[in-house]
Chain A
Amino acid sequence: MSGYLTGVLVVLAFNVIAAYAVYLPLAAGQLNLGIAGFMAIGAYTAAYLTNEMGWTILPAVVAGGAAAGLVGLVVGLPVLRTHGIYLAMATFALGQVISAIFLNLDVVGGAAGYPVTEYAPPAAVFGLAIGVVLFMLLLSSTRFALYLAAVKGDPTVADLLGISVRGIQAAAFTLGAIVAGVGGGLYAHHFSFIEAQHFSVLLSVFTVLYVLFGGTQTVWGPLVGAGFFTLVPELLRAGDQYRYAIFAFVLILFMAIRPQGLVTTAMLRLRRRAGSAA
Chain B
Amino acid sequence: MALLEVSGLSVSYGRVAALNDVSLTVREGEIVTVLGANGAGKSTLLRAILGAVPAKAGGVTFAGEDVSREPPHARIARGLCLVPEGRRILISLSVEENLLLGAHMRRDTEAVRREMDAIYGRFPNLAERRKMLASCLSGGEQQMLAIGRAMMARPRLMMLDEPSLGLSPLFVSKLFALIRELNAEGLSVLLVEQNTTKALAVAHGATVLELGRVIMAGDPKALAADPRLQEAYLGEGAAAPAPY
A residues with a Cβ closer than 8 A to B are 143, 146-147, 149-150, 152-154, 156-157, 159-164, 217, 265-266, 269
- Nearest CB to that of B73 among chain A residues? A162
Cα–Cα distance between A266 and B136 once the two chains are bound (Å): 11
B112 CB, nearest partner CB in chain A, Å: 12
Which of B20-28, B55-63, B92-100, B235-243 faces chain A? B92-100
- Nearest CB to that of B53 among chain A residues? A159
Residues of B within 8 A of A (CB-CB), count:
27
Contacts of B131 in A (CB 8 A): 269
Cα–Cα distance between A159 and B73 once the two chains are bound (Å): 8
Interface string of B101-117 (1 = CB under 8 A from A): 11011000000000000
Cα–Cα distance between A156 and B90 once the two chains are bound (Å): 11
Most chain B CB inside 10 Å of its own CB: which residue of A147, A160, A265: A160
Seed contacts A154-B88, A157-B90; 5 additional CB < 8 Å A-B pairs: A150-B101, A160-B50, A160-B88, A161-B102, A163-B104
Asked if B82 CB lies within 8 Å of chain A CBs, one says yes
- Nearest CB to that of A159 among chain B residues? B52
A153 & B76 in contact (Cβ 8 Å cutoff): no
The B31-54 residues at the A interface (CB cut-off 8 A) are: 47, 50, 52
Contacts of B73 in A (CB 8 A): 162-164
B90 & A153 in contact (Cβ 8 Å cutoff): yes
A162 & B76 in contact (Cβ 8 Å cutoff): yes
- Nearest CB to that of A147 among chain B residues? B104
A187 CB, nearest partner CB in chain B, Å: 33
Contacts of A149 in B (CB 8 A): 90, 92-93, 97
A47 CB, nearest partner CB in chain B, Å: 40
Asked if B84 CB lies within 8 Å of chain A CBs, one says yes
Asked if B234 CB lies within 8 Å of chain A CBs, one says no
Contacts of A161 in B (CB 8 A): 76, 101-102, 104, 149, 153
Beyond A160-B50, A160-B84, is A150–B90 a contact (Cβ under 8 Å)?
A: yes
Contacts of A147 in B (CB 8 A): 104
Asked if B118 CB lies within 8 Å of chain A CBs, one says no
B90 & A154 in contact (Cβ 8 Å cutoff): yes
Asked if B91 CB lies within 8 Å of chain A CBs, one says yes
Task: Choose from B84, B97, B132 the contact partner of A156 (Cβ within 8 Å).
Answer: B84
B104 & A146 in contact (Cβ 8 Å cutoff): yes
Asked if B133 CB lies within 8 Å of chain A CBs, one says yes
- Nearest CB to that of A217 among chain B residues? B92
A146 & B97 in contact (Cβ 8 Å cutoff): yes
Cα–Cα distance between A164 and B104 once the two chains are bound (Å): 11
Question: Can you list 6 residue pairs at the A/B interface with Cβ under 8 Å?
Answer: A146-B104, A149-B90, A153-B90, A160-B84, A161-B76, A162-B105
- Nearest CB to that of B152 among chain A residues? A161
- Nearest CB to that of A162 among chain B residues? B73
- Nearest CB to that of A157 among chain B residues? B88
Cα–Cα distance between A157 and B86 once the two chains are bound (Å): 11
Cα–Cα distance between A40 and B50 once the two chains are bound (Å): 43
Cα–Cα distance between A217 and B97 once the two chains are bound (Å): 15
Contacts of A154 in B (CB 8 A): 88, 90
Asked if B139 CB lies within 8 Å of chain A CBs, one says no
- Nearest CB to that of B102 among chain A residues? A161
Task: Choose from A153, A156, A163, A164 the contact partner of B91 (Cβ within 8 Å).
Answer: A153
Cα–Cα distance between A251 and B102 once the two chains are bound (Å): 39
A160 & B133 in contact (Cβ 8 Å cutoff): no
Beyond A160-B72, A162-B104, is A146–B88 a contact (Cβ under 8 Å)?
A: no
B160 CB, nearest partner CB in chain A, Å: 12
B133 CB, nearest partner CB in chain A, Å: 7
Interface string of B181-203 (1 = CB under 8 A from A): 00000000000000000000000
A269 & B133 in contact (Cβ 8 Å cutoff): yes
Cα–Cα distance between A217 and B215 once the two chains are bound (Å): 48
Beyond A157-B88, A159-B72, A160-B72, is A146–B101 a contact (Cβ under 8 Å)?
A: yes
Cα–Cα distance between A161 and B100 once the two chains are bound (Å): 11
B72 & A156 in contact (Cβ 8 Å cutoff): no
- Nearest CB to that of B75 among chain A residues? A162
Cα–Cα distance between A146 and B102 once the two chains are bound (Å): 11
Contacts of B72 in A (CB 8 A): 159-160, 162
B82 & A143 in contact (Cβ 8 Å cutoff): no
B104 & A266 in contact (Cβ 8 Å cutoff): no
Contacts of B105 in A (CB 8 A): 162
- Nearest CB to that of A272 among chain B residues? B131
Contacts of A269 in B (CB 8 A): 94, 131-133
Task: Choose from A153, A163, A266 the contact partner of B93 (Cβ within 8 Å).
Answer: A153
Contacts of B97 in A (CB 8 A): 146, 149
